[in-house]
Amino acid sequence: MPTPNTIKLSRAGAIAAPVLASLLGACAGNGQGLDANGNPVGAGGGAPPTTLTADFKSIQENVFTPICVHCHSGASAPEGLQLDEAHSYALLVGVASAEQPSLQRVNPGDPDSSYLVQKLEGSAGITGARMPFGGPYLPQSTIAVIRQWITNGAQSPSASGTSASFAVTTLSPADGARVHAGSRPIVVAFSSEPDMSLMNESTLRLERVLPEGLQEVPGGVTLSLARGNPSTVLVTPRQGLAPGQYRLSIGAGGGLVPADVDARALQQAQSSEFTVEDRP
């Protein structure tokens, strides 16, 4: 049986460095000729003008989408971290790192203890490689903008906007994902802040899929809101998950319907089925 490390490394190795280099074109560099926001001064030399500012939308558009998404997407995204626009905020802010679960990927207000920043800077204590995997790495001026967004509280892009309806935006692990026991945060994110009094083990379920049917996970789960990110619910099994097939579902049980804090009911039930594998 191949170890997950081999899988990860060969996945990463398949990504050609020149692709990254060309994607990075506009922001790679040594930090010289960049203004306080990490933007090229004058934006000459044929480089497209970038508008990197310390807000999530700008960081998504200028960093995550062009540089990280081709590895960090889909059910097999490294460490379950999907960085495409639809998933990144919910899986970063207030959510534990898979590599170092004592740290949050983004800890609002505290860039130094945010694992994302440590991985981008290649800090001494990280597990695995500096990001982007294989380089070229982000200029410190770009990392400084990401740090500033975290210092400012890691606001979401929709912090002020109100969405039309209450929906599930992210289930992680995603449908079809294969994960290792205890290695990955289990996350359900919504388009707006859920009413936690309606969130319980009948509305938000983590069940084991067995030949004889669905069975509640032994010990049950704890539900909590991600710190600084009130539309993301963390699902923490009270006991480690045994290897096997699991189903994460929201709003699928009859009876109680989840709603958001503005009393809008969840429009559509959602679920994902994932496999927990033995540790190698």
Q: Nearest approach, Cβ of 224 to ligand HEC (angstroms)?
A: 18
Both tokens assigned to 13: 């190795």
Q: Nearest approach, Cβ of 126 to ligand HEC (angstroms)?
A: 7
CB-based closest residue to ligand HEC: 128
CA 178 from centroid of its chain's CA atoms: 16
In the bound state with ligand HEC, the residue whose beta carbon lies nearer, of 98 and 266, is 98
Instruction: State the Rg of the chain over Cα.
Output: 20
Q: Nearest approach, Cβ of 280 to ligand HEC (angstroms)?
A: 15
Q: Nearest approach, Cβ of 81 to ligand HEC (angstroms)?
A: 5
**Other C-beta atoms lying within 10 Å of the C-beta of residue 253:** 16
Q: Nearest approach, Cβ of 164 to ligand HEC (angstroms)?
A: 30
In the bound state with ligand HEC, the residue whose beta carbon lies nearer, of 79 and 260, is 79
Quick check: 144 and 36 in contact, CB under 8 A? no
In the bound state with ligand HEC, the residue whose beta carbon lies nearer, of 68 and 188, is 68
End-to-end CA separation in angstroms for the chain: 9
In the bound state with ligand HEC, the residue whose beta carbon lies nearer, of 122 and 153, is 122
Q: Nearest approach, Cβ of 142 to ligand HEC (angstroms)?
A: 9
CA nearest to 230, candidates 260, 263, 203, 252: 260
Write the CA distances from 63 to 20, 87, 90, 270, integer angstroms. 12, 14, 17, 30
Longest dimension (CA), the chain: 66
Quick check: 184 and 204 in contact, CB under 8 A? no
Residues near ligand HEC (CB under 6 A): 8, 12, 15, 63, 67-68, 71-72, 78-79, 81, 97-99, 105, 115-116, 119-120, 128-129, 131-134, 138
In the bound state with ligand HEC, the residue whose beta carbon lies nearer, of 119 and 147, is 119
In the bound state with ligand HEC, the residue whose beta carbon lies nearer, of 11 and 238, is 11
